[in-house]
Structure 1
Amino acid sequence: MASRIANFIRPDPTPKRKPTKSKDYLAFIHELPCCVTGRYGVEAAHLSFASPRHGHYGRGKGSKVSDRWALPLHQAEHRRQHGMNEERFWSQIGIDPHLLALVIHGIWSDLGDDAVAFATAIINQTLADAGALRSRDEA
């Protein structure tokens, strides 16, 4: 009796690769306003939950993700993000964090030192779309 060979190959759904780290990119993130509140004085908050359609496969226990998946969050929002289900945190805010992270990283990759103003405008537009853009009086 001959062995049956499967007629398809299932790719590994979670490719493994050492995360890319960039001190310059994280310094850039620290110059931006919080992508949830618009406040300055942010921390680099790395996204942990997976979104394969965006090329983010999550992280295992004790492992890190690439800095590409860092977003600027004010300290209070960063604590809140880690204090609850992360996916629910972003869903409640109404922001697609993976798309925003990719856009901000792309702007930085293309524009370097000139990227802060463009990334800030993207964050402000994202806040406006989510109904969370603060007025100048609140800033």
Structure 2
Amino acid sequence: MSSRILRPSTAFTLDPSGKEKKRKKDEGHLAFVRKLPCLITGRYGVDPCHIRYGDPLYNKSRTGKATKPDDCWVVPMIREKHDEQHSQNEHLFWKTQGIDPLAVARDLYAISGDEEAAQRIIAAARVRKRI
């Protein structure tokens, strides 16, 4: 006789409550990120690029293609790099860049509105990329 192990619907989620969360929007933060230089190239004229992959270190759930993550999980990227990032394995893309986009997104959200501090965060991430 065989038996089947039933897993609760929350078995592989970061949120054990089982409640579906609504996406947190922050138009002010998105407008702020649009003023910043690209995290990869340093050029201006960026889009806020949502980071979709999840990481328990940041208490960030993975989001699928049909949904966007909360607006706190964005980094500034020129359109070319933004498209490139979404056209391949996102985690591998960032590993190749040598940048932790979740750390940058977290730090940018914490100082949202302070362009000088944001410039320092982006510059530091780009310097670590070259090392």
Q: Give the structure-2-normalised TM-score.
A: 0.83
**1:86 corresponds to which residue?**
90
SS at match of 1:87: helix
Deviation per CA, 1:70-123: give whole Å up to 9, x if none: 110011100110111100110000001111110010011xxx3xx111101110
Task: Give the C-alpha shift of residue 24 in structure 1.
Answer: 0.7
**1:24 corresponds to which residue?**
28
Deviation per CA, 1:24-80: give whole Å up to 9, x if none: 110000000000111100001000111121011011352221000011001110011
**1:104 corresponds to which residue?**
108
**2:69 corresponds to which residue?**
65
Structure 1 residue runs of 5 or longer lacking an equivalent are: 1-9, 133-139
Structure 2 CA distance, aligned partners of 1:84 and 1:12?
Answer: 23
Correspondence 1:14 to 2:14: yes
Query: RMSD of the TM alignment (CA)?
Result: 1.7
Larger CA Rg, structure 1 vs 2: 1
**2:53 corresponds to which residue?**
49
Structure 1 CA distance, aligned partners of 2:65 and 2:83?
Answer: 19
Query: What percent identity do the matched residue pairs reach?
Result: 33
Q: Give the structure-1-normalised TM-score.
A: 0.79
Structure 2 residue runs of 5 or longer lacking an equivalent are: 1-9
Matched residues, number:
118
Structure 2 CA distance, aligned partners of 1:92 and 1:60?
Answer: 22
Task: Give the C-alpha shift of residue 11 in structure 1.
Answer: 6.8
* Structure (1 or 2) with the greater helix fraction: 1
